[in-house]
């Protein structure tokens, strides 16, 4: 075995997926399992599908290509707007991509025609979060362009909350999205399969959703059992699907304040040190190359993260009884940002148990 590593609890991931999909299905909503938080690890994506996710969604085309090459047959959605330089690959690997401009529609249409392969597009609307999306008044123009793109299928409409603007979903905004979708349907003379009303942060509204909202793109709830936008633990989900394990490489009593003249750390920061006298400290072998520490949350009692450099995570272990030994494995929970980084790091092993 090698450390550091992420240990994934397969049972709890499948239970999170099943419970989320069950609650959504009860109100006519399908779940797109969002795989970007775990770098689309195929074993975990497979569990999401087994748990009931009808589609898988990711922001990175490489992740979707990996899933397609592994033989996944559920529809794959590219949730980040395609780069013009990647449209040929988008058409090859994604079944649907999220769009917000006529330029990209034209490029995707040409790429789809070249590949002789139809491609679905889901139009993102800007409803206040100020990340991607067309303004409601641009609907006519984008719909007219879409109608001329014969190799593209209108897959639906969607919006974001809590990505840039820290907005939370409301029934009013989702009603507006539903109306925009219906307007698009009238203009195109088709029925749109996806009315995608957000992500984990829309789950609290599940029982009040406008009738037409029929899809959510869920990552954080499945992987962490939390809802960061509402700063909540989701009581009906497991929080221990993913655990970080790291190995102790030094244990020593040291002062709590550095000595000598101080300037900036290697990361350009000026940390503040509280003098707590001499404390027992441990170093575990994981660092900023792998996470955004010290935001990781120790699972062992008496462990307090102090900070990290590229390859070292420093811990106060004064209150750990018994104190740790060199070679001991310490365990941590993490937030979304740390999870994203840890799964991306080639220095961190991933094991599904």
Ligand X SMILES: *Cc1c(COP(=O)(O)O)cnc(C)c1O
129 binds ligand X (CB under 6 A): no
Question: Known catalytic residue: 36?
Answer: yes
298 binds ligand X (CB under 6 A): no
The single residue among 79, 134, 308, 348 that binds ligand X, judged by CB under 6 A, is 79
94 binds ligand X (CB under 6 A): no
The single residue among 181, 210, 219, 298 that binds ligand X, judged by CB under 6 A, is 219
Q: Closest approach of Cβ 320 to ligand X, in Å?
A: 33
Choose one: 7-15, 100-108, 174-182, 212-220; the region binding ligand X (CB under 6 A).
212-220
Q: Closest approach of Cβ 260 to ligand X, in Å?
A: 44
Give the residue at shortest CB distance from ligand X: 219
282 binds ligand X (CB under 6 A): no
Catalytic residue among 36, 68, 116, 254: 36
C-beta closer to ligand X: residue 198 or 210 = 198
303 binds ligand X (CB under 6 A): no
168 binds ligand X (CB under 6 A): no
Which positions from 6 through 25 interact with ligand X, judged by CB under 6 A?
none
The single residue among 8, 34, 205, 314 that binds ligand X, judged by CB under 6 A, is 34
220 binds ligand X (CB under 6 A): yes
45 binds ligand X (CB under 6 A): no
Q: What does DSSP say about strands 119-125 and 152-159: parallel, antiparallel, or unpaired?
A: parallel
What residues make contact with ligand X under the rule CB under 6 A? 34, 36, 59, 79, 160, 199-200, 217-221
Active-site residues, by number, are 36
């Amino acid at each position: 075995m090698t450390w550091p590593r992420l240990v994934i609890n397969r049972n709890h991931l499948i239970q999170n997926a099943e419970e989320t999909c069950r609650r959504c299905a009860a109100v006519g909503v399908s779940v797109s399992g969002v795989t970007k938080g775990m770098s689309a690890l195929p074993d975990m994506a497979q569990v999401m599908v087994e748990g009931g996710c009808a589609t898988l969604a990711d922001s990175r085309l490489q992740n979707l290509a990996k899933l397609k090459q592994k033989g996944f047959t559920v529809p794959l959605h590219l949730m980040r707007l395609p780069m013009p330089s990647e449209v040929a690959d988008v058409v090859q690997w994604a079944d649907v991509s999220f769009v917000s401009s006529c330029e990209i529609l034209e490029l995707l249409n040409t790429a789809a025609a070249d590949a002789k392969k139809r491609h679905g597009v889901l139009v993102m609307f800007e409803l206040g979060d100020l990340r991607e999306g067309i303004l409601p008044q641009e609907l006519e123009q984008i719909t007219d362009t879409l109608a001329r793109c014969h190799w593209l299928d209108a897959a639906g409409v969607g919006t974001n909350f809590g990505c840039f603007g820290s907005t939370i979903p409301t029934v009013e905004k989702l009603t507006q999205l539903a109306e925009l979708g219906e307007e698009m349907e009238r203009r195109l003379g088709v029925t749109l399969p996806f009315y995608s009303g957000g992500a984990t942060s829309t789950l609290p509204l599940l029982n009040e959703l406008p009738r037409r909202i029929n899809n959510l793109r869920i990552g954080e709830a499945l992987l962490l059992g939390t809802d960061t936008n509402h700063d909540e633990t989701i009581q009906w989900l497991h929080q221990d699907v993913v655990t970080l394990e790291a190995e102790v490489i030094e244990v020593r009593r040291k002062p709590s304040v550095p000595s000598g003249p101080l300037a900036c750390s290697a990361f350009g920061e000026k940390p503040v040190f509280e003098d707590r006298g001499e404390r027992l400290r441990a170093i575990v072998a994981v660092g900023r190359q792998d996470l955004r520490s010290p935001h990781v949350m120790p699972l062992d009692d008496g462990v307090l993260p102090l900070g990290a450099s590229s390859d070292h995570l420093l811990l106060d272990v004064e209150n750990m009884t018994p104190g740790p030994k060199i070679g001991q494995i310490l365990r941590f929970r993490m937030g979304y940002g740390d999870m994203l980084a840890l799964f991306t790091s080639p220095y961190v092993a991933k094991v599904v148990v």
